[in-house]
């Protein structure tokens, strides 16, 4: 089973991917996480991506596609969850080519439908662990101790691109560059729309029924 998690920033793609990985034997490929890993480790790729990510812009297609090709090259027989890729029609076309050459095609594209107000609430409230990347929410999923990760005791912070200005830009970039990818998959016939409102568990039970 190969799945693609699709939707606007804050729709819950990462949250649902984590629940899927807990319940099924799938590899989680998140381009956002891969970029953040490179930023944290101060690699050349991280340095290149930083200026785009901090402002809420997309990292150029050439850089992103190359990064995903490298990951596909290392994938074994396991099924995968793609989270945050593709985000442009050019990336979706590149993924088609990659699927052909690696014989690993996407079975379902799960699109999370979430109203803008709720996206803003989720993004402004999101907190992440600097050490292990665990995701929390100031209101919906607070840490037990203020600023301390429940999983590893690391420092919990706000992502630089979760500041108001960057959020506005990410939502604008989504409408302009990423929303057209939805029509791309609708025409292919493997797009499934899921109501992304309600608790993470509510959404996950909808995702489960799609997979089943």
Residue numbers of the site for ligand AP5 (CB under 6 A)? 9-15, 31-32, 35, 52-53, 56-59, 64, 84-85, 87, 91, 122, 125-126, 135, 137, 140-141, 161, 170, 198-200, 203
190 contacts 24 by C-beta, under 8 angstroms = no
Look at residues 181, 141, 165 and name the one whose alpha carbon lies nearest to residue 6. 181
Query: Measured from the CB atom, is 77 or 168 closer to ligand AP5?
Result: 168
Q: How far is the CB of 97 from ligand AP5 (least distance, A)?
A: 15
Query: Measured from the CB atom, is 24 or 37 closer to ligand AP5?
Result: 37
In the beta sheet, which residues pair with residue 82?
4, 29
Residue 13 phi, psi dihedral angles, 5° rounding = -60, -45
Query: Measured from the CB atom, is 77 or 201 closer to ligand AP5?
Result: 201
Return d(Cα 96, Cα 82) in angstroms, integer.
13
**Catalytic residue set:** 13, 87, 126, 159, 170
Nearest residue to ligand AP5, using CB?
32
Query: Measured from the CB atom, is 11 or 149 closer to ligand AP5?
Result: 11
List own/partner pairs for 89-96 with CB under 8 A and 24 or more apart: 89/180, 89/181, 89/184, 90/61, 90/65, 91/61, 91/64, 91/65, 91/181, 92/181, 92/184, 92/185, 94/61, 94/65, 94/68, 95/68
Q: How far is the CB of 113 from ligand AP5 (least distance, A)?
A: 12
Q: How far is the CB of 172 from ligand AP5 (least distance, A)?
A: 11
DSSP label at 5? E
Q: How far is the CB of 14 from ligand AP5 (least distance, A)?
A: 3
């Amino acid at each position: 089973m190969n799945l693609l998690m699709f939707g606007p920033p804050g729709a819950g793609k990462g949250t649902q991917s984590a629940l899927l990985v807990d319940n099924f034997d799938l590899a989680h490929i998140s381009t956002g996480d891969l970029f953040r890993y490179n930023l944290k480790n101060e690699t050349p790729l991280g340095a290149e991506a930083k200026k785009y990510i901090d402002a809420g812009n997309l990292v150029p297609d050439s850089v992103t596609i190359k990064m995903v090709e490298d990951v596909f090259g290392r994938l074994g027989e396991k099924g995968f969850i793609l989270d945050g890729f593709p985000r442009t029609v050019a990336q979706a076309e590149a993924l088609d080519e990659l699927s052909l050459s690696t014989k690993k095609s996407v079975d379902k594209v799960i699109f999370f439908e979430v109203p803008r107000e709720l996206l803003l609430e989720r993004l402004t409230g999101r907190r992440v662990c600097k050490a292990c990347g665990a995701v929390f929410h100031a209101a919906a999923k607070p840490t037990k101790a203020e600023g301390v990760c429940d999983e590893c005791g690391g420092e919990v912070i706000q992502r630089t691109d979760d500041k108001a200005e960057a959020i506005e830009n990410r939502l604008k970039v989504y409408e302009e560059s990423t929303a057209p990818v939805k029509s791309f998959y609708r025409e292919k016939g493997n797009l499934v729309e899921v109501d992304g409102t309600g608790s993470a568990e509510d959404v996950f039970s909808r995702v489960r029924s799609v997979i089943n």
